[in-house]
């Protein structure tokens, strides 16, 4: 997750010439950006260079990234008519550049490195579409959800269908595993998660399931409703650092787990960083089915050498 990105000098250099959307839409460059961290970091899997917000273009919501501010959605979802007129689009045609990137990466990638395709979960995508960009409080999203629940359910159902089809297409293009990112779902109460978000992650994962690739269900801030989060689907449940790995594992039952280093631990001195990595490995206790990962994305302030040191420590 966020293997490439601003903490990598090679990536920053490419970004001086191309916008993030230009990189995503150019399969040759995107494949290069996907492969670079695999060589630098020695990780066991590559994540395709793309973004969860790319479907907003074919949904005709308009997408730009502004430096320092993050994503901007030009025509955010405000009312029922906006949801009703959302087009159903062909993912192979409209997001074919992501599929082409996957095909290119598969050709170059060593046999023992897995390739991960991904998409945003309906709740997290809806939050960007309604807020018009990033948010701390998700006020517009929650107002929409409570004020017009029927429209909310229609919107998320449409997103779930699109996301499921997009994930399936990524598996058919060569992704070995598929990750659903519900990055902001932790802003919901357990009850609201069950009512307003879980059914649509379940639907997206069920559609993706038909393509046969293993599914990773990623979320942050999910400790208060982890059982429901796991029940929504996925062969692997990803957890963040707000819950100890063993405590999370005992609550999700017979499922693989992904996580859960605090990303800021990569900014700590070596001793503290190593202690935190070892603590996670101790809690995993050698049980099969643990994917070591950060609990969320690599922070832009991170030193590449610190990431590499963690990879080597875990491999050791
Ligand atoms: O190796 C990789 O980096 C994989 C590619 C990847 C990107 N985005 C490229 C990107 C992945 C897996 C994502 C997922 C993504 N995008 C998520 C889910 C994971 C998470 O971190 O929660 C979300 C919420 C987004 C939406 C998004 N994209 C935001 C909010 C931003 C701006 C804020 C920021 O971190 O800069 C982006 C931009 C973005 N997408 C960058 C990258 C490498 C960094 C900015 C840049 O290059 O200008």
Asked if 215 contacts 178 with a C-beta cutoff of 8 angstroms, the reply is: yes
Whether cis (ω within 30° of 0) applies to the bond prior to 260 is yes
Measured in Å, residue 71 CA sits from the centre of ligand 1 at 9
| Residue 2, pLDDT score | 75
pLDDT recorded at residue 49: 97
Q: State the virtual CA torsion across 273, 119, 86, 196 in degrees, nearest 10.
A: -60
Is 46:104 a contact under the CB 8 Å cutoff? no
The whole-number pLDDT of residue 69 equals: 80
Closest CA to 128 of 79, 196, 63, 198: 63
CATH tag, 9-315? 3.20.20.210
Please work out whether the CB of residue 71 comes within 6 Å of at least one atom of ligand 1: yes
Q: Assess whether the C-beta atom of 156 lies below 6 angstroms from ligand 1.
A: no
Residues in the chain, how many?
A: 316
In terms of Cα–Cα distance, which of 130, 132, 170 is closest to 148?
A: 130
Whether the per-residue pLDDT at 184 is higher than 70: the answer is yes
Residues recognised as catalytic = 2, 6, 15, 51, 128
- Identify the pLDDT of residue 1: 65
pTM, full prediction: 0.97
The CA-to-CA distance between both ends of the chain, in Å, stands at 21
- Buried b / exposed e along 9-23 (16+ C-beta atoms within 10 A): eebeebbeeeebeeb
Say yes or no to pLDDT of 181 above 80: yes
Answer whether 51 contacts ligand 1 (Cβ < 6 A).
yes
Q: Please provide the average confidence, as pLDDT, over all residues in the chain.
A: 97
Question: Residue 249: its pLDDT value, please?
Answer: 98
Q: Give the integer Cα–Cα distance in Å for 198 and 192.
A: 9
In angstroms, what is the span from residue 202 Cα to ligand 1's centroid? 23
116: nearest Cα among 236, 197, 224: 236
For the cut 90, the answer to whether the pLDDT of residue 199 exceeds it is yes
pLDDT tens digits along 242-281: 999 999 999 999 999 999 999 999 999 999 999 999 999 9
Tell me the pLDDT tens digit for each residue of 4-62: 888 999 999 999 999 999 999 999 999 999 999 999 999 999 999 999 999 999 999 99
Give the residue whose CA is nearest to atom 2 of ligand 1.
2
Alpha helices, DSSP H, located in 173-234: 190-192, 198-209, 226-231
| 224 DSSP assignment | G
pLDDT in tens, 112-127: 999 999 999 999 999 9
- The span from the CA of 62 to the CA of 80, in Å, is 18
What band does 131 get if pLDDT is binned at 50, 70 and 90? very high
- Atom 7 (ligand 1) nearest CA: 51
CB of 270 closer than 8 Å to CB of 278: no
96 Cβ contact partners less than 8 Å away, ≥ 6 residues apart: none
Q: How confident is the model at residue 143 (pLDDT cuts 50, 70, 90)?
A: very high
């Amino acid at each position: 997750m966020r293997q490439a990105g601003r903490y990598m000098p090679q990536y920053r250099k490419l970004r001086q010439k191309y916008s993030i959307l230009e990189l995503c839409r150019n399969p040759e460059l995107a494949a290069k950006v996907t492969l670079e961290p695999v060589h630098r970091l020695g990780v066991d899997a590559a994540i395709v260079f793309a973004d969860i917000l790319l479907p907003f273009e074919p949904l005709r919501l308009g997408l730009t990234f502004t430096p320092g501010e993050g994503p901007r959605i030009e025509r955010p979802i405000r009312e029922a008519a906006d949801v009703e007129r959302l087009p159903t689009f062909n993912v192979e045609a409209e997001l074919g550049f992501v599929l082409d990137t996957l095909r290119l990466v598969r050709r170059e990638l060593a046999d023992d490195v897995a390739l991960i395709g991904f998409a945003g979960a309906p709740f997290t995508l809806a939050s960007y579409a309604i807020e018009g960009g990033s948010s701390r409080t998700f006020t517009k999203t929650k107002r929409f959800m409570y004020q017009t629940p029927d429209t909310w359910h229609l919107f998320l159902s449409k997103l779930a269908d699109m996301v499921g089809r997009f994930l399936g297409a990524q598996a058919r293009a060569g992704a070995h595993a598929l990750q659903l990112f519900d990055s902001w779902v932790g802003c919901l109460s357990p009850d609201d998660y069950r009512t307003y978000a879980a059914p649509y992650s379940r639907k997206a994962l069920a559609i993706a399931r038909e393509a046969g690739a293993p599914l990773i269900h990623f979320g942050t801030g999910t400790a208060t409703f982890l059982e429901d989060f796991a029940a929504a689907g996925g062969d692997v449940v990803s957890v963040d650092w707000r819950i100890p790995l063993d405590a999370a594992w005992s609550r999700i039952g017979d499922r693989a787990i992904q996580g859960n280093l605090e990303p800021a631990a990569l900014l700590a001195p070596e001793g503290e960083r190593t202690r935190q990595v070892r603590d996670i490995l101790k809690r995993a206790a050698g049980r099969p089915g643990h994917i070591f990962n950060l609990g969320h994305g690599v922070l832009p302030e991170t030193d590449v050498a610190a990431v590499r040191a963690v990879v080597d420590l875990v491999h050791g």
